Structure 1
């Protein structure tokens, strides 16, 4: 199932991979992963990768969705030397333009005193190892938090569309994500990163997330 908003069509091949197509046929992927990409579509005009976890930065998946003209924009800590395409480096907490798309990078991490820690007590994603993306595409602003807790500093983000992770374990869970989405107040929320067969522990009830977010609000949730 696709979701549409203001001329943008959002598809979720699976997990945290998102495909966005504009009215004029421009195609953007965020964090493509081989486990959920079907074949080698080669249709991407722009690809974004937010960090180097295998399910978010996958050079094989990027090659599969790319053509020789594709622009790839990755968090600066990612080693993208294996890619045979133009690569743009994205610094943390910065603003730039990539192929006509406004790009703002925002914090994404697990708090050292938070609930999403490894057995040894370290955060799954320490501060400075992940970026969230706020993209402006044809006048629509979308927020892709990537792998992060529901941080207080994220509540002030303004976006028309929010694509939050809801699976817990290494990210905010459905309850934390619902609270953050309601704080931001987008027109549309599209949950990601949950109930992925290839990764244990990402458990969520998307229908309950939808119910909580939509209760007494103007936010629409599409389970796409």
Structure 2
């Protein structure tokens, strides 16, 4: 399994069988991205309705017939536009061809702008994915909250993808607390440095956790999960 960072919160997981999972597919307009809409995907995970996370979900779903895994209301929004969807909800789980997925609680808002007005898009969430005998936790946009300790006790998390940007999500210090609660073997920071208001130094974040825990990826770089 390889985890490839495509900027902001857009993360790709390429499985050993070459199946491609993509999370929060913000490609068009993403100043950090290294891919375009010809990049093949098999499944699309969307954590919430904000534009820099929904991104190109509908276009990619239509192009590759890739199901969008998202909260019920957000999946419905995509389905109305012709996308293929696999709606879920908080605490729910599914077994799919790539493996197991569970929808995890996140503390964040979620809306889609329609005709210039924000419209409710269901709850924000994270995802826990088990595939290739590994467990990946994509936190989405969230603050640090106490139940993450329960996540760490319930699941043997190999890699946690955590936002560190601050202002709209938890910042580095909160993310470090979160990582310890999760007991994650490795942590990859996401959702930072895309825009001036979420500037952070990932190297400073890395110093808040035991040496070797944090894997910093620039856009297009990958981490091989062993």
1:154-213 residue CA offsets vs partner (Å, 9 max, x unmatched): 12213111000000111110000011102212221110001113xx41122200111111
Structure having the larger proportion of residues in helix: 2
- 1:177 corresponds, among 172, 175, 178, to 175
* Cα distance in 2 for residues equivalent to 1:139 and 1:76: 28
The structure-2 alpha-carbon separation of the partners of 1:80 and 1:164, relative to structure 1 and needing over 3 Å to count, comes to same
Structure 1 residue 220 corresponds to structure 2 residue 220: no
- State the alpha-carbon separation in 1 of the partners of residues 161 and 143 from structure 2: 14
Structure 1 gaps, min length 5: 1-7, 112-125
The answer to which of 144-153 and 102-111 deviates more is 102-111
Residue 134 of structure 1: aligned partner: 128
Match of 2:68 among 66, 69, 72: 72
When normalised by structure 1's length, the TM-score is: 0.80
In the alignment, does 2:81 pair up with 1:88? no
In the other structure, the counterpart of 1:119 is none
* Cα distance change on mapping 1:25 and 1:83 into 2, 3 Å: farther
- 2:223 corresponds to: none
**2-structure distance, mates of 1:212, 1:149:** 17
**Is this contact kept in 2: 1:44–1:66, CA < 8 A?**
no
**Alignment pair present for 1:151 and 2:145:** yes
In structure 2, do the counterparts of structure 1 residues 11 and 143 end up closer, same or farther at CA, with 3 Å as the change threshold?
same
Post-superposition, which runs of at least 4 consecutive aligned residues in structure 1 deviate over 4 A? none
RCO higher in structure (CA 8 A, sep ≥6)? 2
Contact kept? 1:43, 1:66, Cα under 8 Å: no
Distance in 1 (CA, whole Å) between partners of 2:164 and 2:39 is: 29
Of stretches 48-57 and 178-187 in structure 1, the one that deviates more from structure 2 is 178-187
Aligned length in residues: 196
Q: What is the rounded CA distance, in whole Å, between the counterparts of 2:29 and 2:107 in structure 1?
A: 24
Q: Is the 8 A contact 1:50 1:132 kept in 2?
A: yes
Find the aligned partners of 1:12 and 1:61 in 2 and give their Cα distance. Answer: 17
- Specify every segment of 5 or more residues in structure 2 that has no aligned partner in the other structure, as ranges: 110-119, 218-226
TM-superposed CA distance for 1:42, in Å, is 4.0
Secondary structure class of the residue paired with 2:67: strand
C-alpha distance 24-50 of structure 1, shift in aligned 2 (>3 A): same
TM score, norm. by length of structure 2: 0.79
